[in-house]
Structure 1
Amino acid sequence: MPKVNILPPELVSKIAAGEVIERPASVIKELLENSLDAGATQIELHLKDAGKALIHIKDNGCGIEKDDLQKIFLRHATSKISQASDLFAINTLGFRGEALYSIAAVSDVLLRTNSSDDIAPANAHAGWEIHVQGSKHLKSRPCSFNQTGTEIEIRELFFNTPARKKFLKSNTTEINKILDLFIPYTILSNEKRFLLTHQGKTLIDLAPCADTKTRIADILNLNKAHLIESECILSDKNISAKMIFGDINISRTRRDLQYIFVNGRPVASKQISFHLNNVLRLVLPPNCFGMFAVFLEIPPSEIDVNIHPSKREVKIKDEQEICSALRSAFENALMTKGGIKQTKDYGPQTTDQRQQATYNTGTKPLYFSPKIDNSSDLLQAEKRSAPANSPVNEQNEFFSNVSKELFEQKINTLHNRLQNANYMGTFINKFLLFETNDSILMIDQHAAAERITFEALITQMQKGTVAVQHLLTPFMISLTPQEVNAWEGSSEKLEMMGFSSTKIDNETIAIHTYPALLRNPERCAQDILAGGELDKFDHEEMARRACRASVMTGAKLAGQEIDFLRNSLLNCLDPFTCPHGRPTVIELSEEFLSKQFLRT
């Protein structure tokens, strides 16, 4: 066994930094919280190379006293707490004293500060600066920093930890991580000014505003008229909550417009998110998520923010009771202020409603695993990424002892049976029924249409011949900062997908063409951009596009449409599963049906 060694300080500092600093967004979080704790009302953040080359933050907070400069880069040096009991009465964003120490361990840091209100004459030394690189104190000297506040420049992040630097993502991805981190703090501080630039280009420029609802509408580019405010008070526990949420006109296919704050701190709470999304499920289509921001105020003694290095997770006493109260208040406000008189039942719908979802059939007496064609990388990816709980990945007893050759034979047999089957009719505008000599074949019309559209999209993408619809009048899409960033990094790839677009301003793009296969191009374009960077056309994205473009459950099909759907499905490389792994066709044999009626 190797000998036990005491690690040298420089190695300890790098290990400790790894717990706090994962990427540029981690650095910005710590610096931003320091600025807010210092009482800053103006915060500027300037980035180069997505923060990998430079993170430059400047605030007008209280500054740092000269006598404290030699301490701030030491581990566990903090002005926020001084004794153990303070951990149960934390009212600041930072408190551990690890941030600057960890940042300096893996970067080159230059800090300038002035804690005095005195403005010095030109060329006079009114402030102080300190330079630290890889935890090594290089210099500390007076400087001409003629304003109260602090300015920090972080250069060459992870210069001495190449393994960590190697795992950083592209600039588009890292900027989106930064925006995801930055935006919640702007929502919390509507009375403050925030400026964020990248490569000299403004990404966010927010002036102080009157209230939080206005700030949310501004930063997320939402219509303020669609935002609703409500409150929830648990007087016996001295707990209050303010909620601002969108009505049914605001929804996404991701949870990127959902924020939870506890005592002025952005946090992740699976419990709160679960309860509020369960309410939204009653009024939004399947697989859609609404917008909400929850601001909880809880006595500091009732929460523990010291359970994770990033302070992103907190423990809340009586969390279940709080969640129940929030859910009740949220549901009541949504049903009254949101103008919703009753919850919606998203069952079969008409074509005009264009439901944006795929339905699980819930029946699977027989299923057929996908027959993948090796010529398509996307189809190979489909096989790998099918959901773990889908029929594709379950082991059906019927096939457990059947050889691969026999299985392929049964696939071909079903192919022939479907081709020659007689059409009988539809069931609830969801399943198409076909009759053979000794069985009934049922096609899930949406799943089948998804498969057809999915393979058509793949073929068009691979050939570079996407059929597009040209618009006489472009339609405008309002975007969040993250979506604008994704568009700027992916506009050429979007054009390859059939979306020709131009930027109108920092919040809006115009769509001039879209893929002709799509039924809801505006929603599809926004969903693609909400997913971030488009480095590749992966299976998930293609499946999502196919879902949007396909015949929906509840649509009534004419005879020619049914014939076209059956014939097109039979011409697919993998006709018997949709891109998500669900079956498109099931067979109810005479033997199976007889058993259900206890007949022999």
Structure 2
Amino acid sequence: MADTIQLLPDHIANQIAAGEVIQRPASAVKELLENAVDAGATEIRLIINDAGKALIQVIDNGKGMNETDARMCFERHATSKIAKIEDLFQIRTMGFRGEALASIAAVAQVELKTKRAEDELGTYIEVENSTVIKQEPAALGNGTSIAMKNLFFNVPARRNFLKSNAAEMRHIIDEFIRVSMSFPEIQFTLTSNGQQVFYLEKGTLKQRIVQLLGTNYNSKLVSVQEHTDYLNIYGFVGKPETAKKTRGDQYFFVNNRFIRSGYLHHAVMQAFQDLIPSDGFPLYVLFIDLDPAQVDINVHPTKQEIKFEDEKIVYAFVQAAVKHALAQFSVAPSLEFDLDPTIQQLDAVNKPFTENEQSAATNSSLFQSFTQRFQAHVVNPGKSNMPGFEKKEERFESLMDQLRKPVADESSVTIGQFDHASFQPKASTPIAHLQLHQRYIIASTASGFILIHQGLAHERVLYEKFAAANQQSRLPSQRSLFPVSIDLAPADVALMTELTEPLQELGYLIEPFGNNSFVIQGTPADLEQGNEKHIIEQLLEQYKHFANELKVSKREQIMRHLSRQHAIRAGKSLSQKEMQQLVDDLFNCSQPGTTASGQPTFIEYNGSYLEKMFGQ
């Protein structure tokens, strides 16, 4: 009987191991960039074709490798950074596990060119399916060039699971930003399909942040510097006005390695408490340097999740450092105990209160109404002495007149199964809708009324209009007389390119304008113009940070966002005609009761409930 358990062939074992390390093109980009940094390079070039599916090439001017090392680097667990177990707890380099190149060689066709400065000739190697198929000396420049072609060519199932080119390119840019931000003293370039996306000169950390995240942050960064015996913290946080409603640009680095940590993020949020809204997210780029023995970085294949020996101490230091920086640069609020000298110049302070003025004040009806015992609430029924009070009385009487108008006598209504016929009045009894606080609409029903949230109701109406365009044809566009341009950070250009076509189907005409700029030539017809730049910028933020959380399609996310952004805002006064149109449009929707995200658009108050409230 044959044995059941057998050893896997090397090429299959390597492909399985590659599944942990090389999940998508961006994973290979990260590993190759980190190796170039570890090689001591001062210039690193990243070349991408077809979002990394056809080519990922990293060229550096580092120390290079000799012939033996060039051959050995493709073996599993081959590394120059660990010789004994103690080295594992003193790691300061980026790549160290010796699996990156072996994993890449298992799922791609790889070409390696490398040469040390002291060697006359370099080494050229071709590897395919974990097998070296060619090796020869070659005349090369100093440094290393690694090109991986046709990713997952031998694992077609893995290749089929890759996202669109635009989506994969966004992941590549994310990894490029994280590595290049860690090392501002190194020059980085990124070229995609022959077009240069990033050119980052050597400079300071602040210059690198502005290069990567946008020039609008140039004057809105606050320096963080704290040095202690246990750890050092340095970097920048954005001023409170840069906080966004979505998770913005937030980066933590421990010993120059990018990490994710909800725990440390909470420390920063606590430092910003009372400075930004509770739903705001500040910008921060913070570096933490501490003894590698205090950190375990080998707890996750991507090395983006780490363990601190004492998390509470790190949390406290991060929170204190950010708080101190905000206070030091006069960003945090402070108590002012000195009296404003301009107050001393006011008439109420520097002029005497004469007897005539005292007599006139004490005889006024306003003074008497607030000084009579137990009568602080009394207001004389005659003409008020308060300026503008007559207008308030007139508005109140107008409101009462509207409330007294008759309503149709129809059957009661239940939420979610609303009978729009109850809103159709008889010819002799017109119905007036009331606007409350410029936020809600009160609409009469047969036995009560409904309270409609005007913004959420309009959001539902717009969403169904966009959804109808999804099933039929493109929404018509209205050309702008004065097209608006948007300047984007290089990282957002790929995302904008990805969203251009679905936006065009919904009525937005957006065209590239070169040099990371786009022009909004048109907006959906019948929608108010003038806010399109803000809407598109918010769309990019929403899509960039929530695309992986919402289990809905790209188009669905865009429709939800656009309907929310174009909806009527609180504080907008509506005429009777506008309120009637909104109510009609809402109850002509297929699902008038909620928005696409599940928020209620109206609440019903029926007659029996109202009677109970008054004890009837």
Answer whether TM exceeds 0.5 for this pair. yes
- CA–CA separation in structure 1 for the residues paired with 2:446 and 2:320: 55
Q: What amino acid is the match of 1:454?
A: Y
Relative to structure 1, is the Cα distance of residues 503 and 231 closer, same or farther in structure 2, using a 3 angstrom cutoff?
A: same
Residue type of the partner of 1:133? E
Please give the residue correspondences for 1:148-297 in structure 2 after superposition, counting only pairs within 5 Å: 148-209=142-203, 211-231=204-224, 233=226, 235=228, 238-250=230-242, 252=244, 254-277=246-269, 289-297=281-289
CA distance in 1, matches of 2:327, 2:422: 50
2:271 and 2:135 mapped to 1: Cα distance?
56
Q: CA deviation at 1:580?
A: 1.1
Greater shift in the superposed pair: 470-479 or 211-220:
470-479
1:7 is matched with which residue?
Answer: 8
**Deviation, structure 1 residue 67:** 3.2
Shift of 1:78: 0.6
After superposition, where does 1:399-418 map in structure 2 within 5 Å?
Answer: 411-417=416-422
SS of alignment partner, residue 318 of structure 2: helix
Q: Aligned in 2, Cα 1:491/1:426: closer, same or farther, shift over 3 Å?
A: closer
Q: What is the number of residues matched between the two proteins?
A: 526
Partner of residue 464, structure 2: 455
**Whole-Å separation in 2 of the counterparts to 1:272 and 1:103:** 33
Residue in structure 2 matching 1:521, options 526, 532, 544: 532
What is the TM-score with the length of structure 1 in the denominator? 0.79
2:556 maps to 539
The equivalent residue for 2:133 is: 138
Which letter maps to 1:171?
N
| Aligned pairs (5 A) from 1:65-84 | 65-84=66-85
Matched with 2:343 is: none
Alpha-carbon displacement from aligned partner over 1:516-558 (angstroms, at most 9, x marks no partner): 525631122234445369x976222201111100112344434
Q: Deviations over 1:339-369 (max 9, x none)?
A: 5759xxxxxxxxxxxxxxxxxxxxxxxxxxx
Q: CA deviation at 1:436?
A: 4.0
2:567 corresponds to 1:567:
no
- The match for 2:514 is 505
| Structure 1 residue 576 corresponds to structure 2 residue 593 | yes
Number of the residue aligned with 1:585: 602
RMSD between aligned alpha carbons? 3.2
Separation in structure 2 between the aligned mates of residue 556 and residue 332 of structure 1, nearest angstrom: 44
Which AA in structure 2 matches 1:130? I
Q: Is the 8 A contact 1:109 1:153 kept in 2?
A: yes
Letter in 2 for 1:52: K
| AA of the residue aligned to 2:232 | S
Q: Structure 1 pair 281/160, CA: closer, same or farther in 2 (3 Å)? A: farther
2:309 corresponds in structure 1 to 317
Per-residue CA deviations over 1:255-296 (Å, capped at 9, x if unaligned) read: 352221111011111222344356668555676544221212
Equivalent AA in structure 1 for residue 455 of structure 2: H
Say if 1:190 and 1:208, in contact at 8 Å, map to a contact too.
Answer: yes
Stretch moving more, 189-198 or 522-531: 522-531
Instruction: Report the equivalent of 2:373.
Output: none
SS of 1:313 mapped into structure 2: coil
Aligned residue type for 1:550: A
Deviates more, 1:485-494 or 1:185-194: 485-494
| 2:481 aligns with one of 472, 494, 508 | 472
1:400-430 Cα offsets, whole Å, 9 max, x none, are xxxxxxx998744554445669667455443
Decide whether aligned partners of structure 1 residues 100 and 413 sit closer, same or farther in structure 2, where only a CA change above 3 A counts.
Answer: closer
For the 8 Å contact 2:214–2:488, the answer to whether it is kept is yes
In the alignment, the residues of structure 2 paired with residue 558 and residue 338 of structure 1 have an alpha-carbon distance, to the nearest angstrom, of 46
Unaligned residue ranges in structure 1 (runs of 5+): 121-125, 343-406
Identity rate, percent: 34
Please state whether the residue corresponding to 2:581 is helix, strand or coil. Answer: helix
Contact 2:233/2:321 (<8 A) preserved: no
Q: 1:242 to 1:443 in 2, by over 3 A?
A: same
Structure 2 counterpart of 1:583, one-letter code: P
Shift of the 537–90 alpha-carbon distance from structure 1 to 2, 3 Å rule, reads closer
1:578 aligned partner, one-letter code: T
8 Å CA contact retained: 2:413, 2:445:
no
Question: What is the TM-score of this pair, normalised by structure 2?
Answer: 0.77
Structure number with the bigger relative contact order (C-alpha 8 A, sep ≥ 6) is 1
The one-letter code of the counterpart of 1:47 is: I
CA deviation map 1:23-81 (0-9, x unaligned): 11111111100000111110111122211121111100111133323321111111111
Structure 1 distance, partners of 2:228, 2:93, is 24
1:300 alignment partner AA: P
Structure 2 runs not aligned, ≥5 long: 335-411
Deviation of 1:331 after TM superposition, in Å, equals: 4.9
1:306 equivalent in alignment to 2:306: no
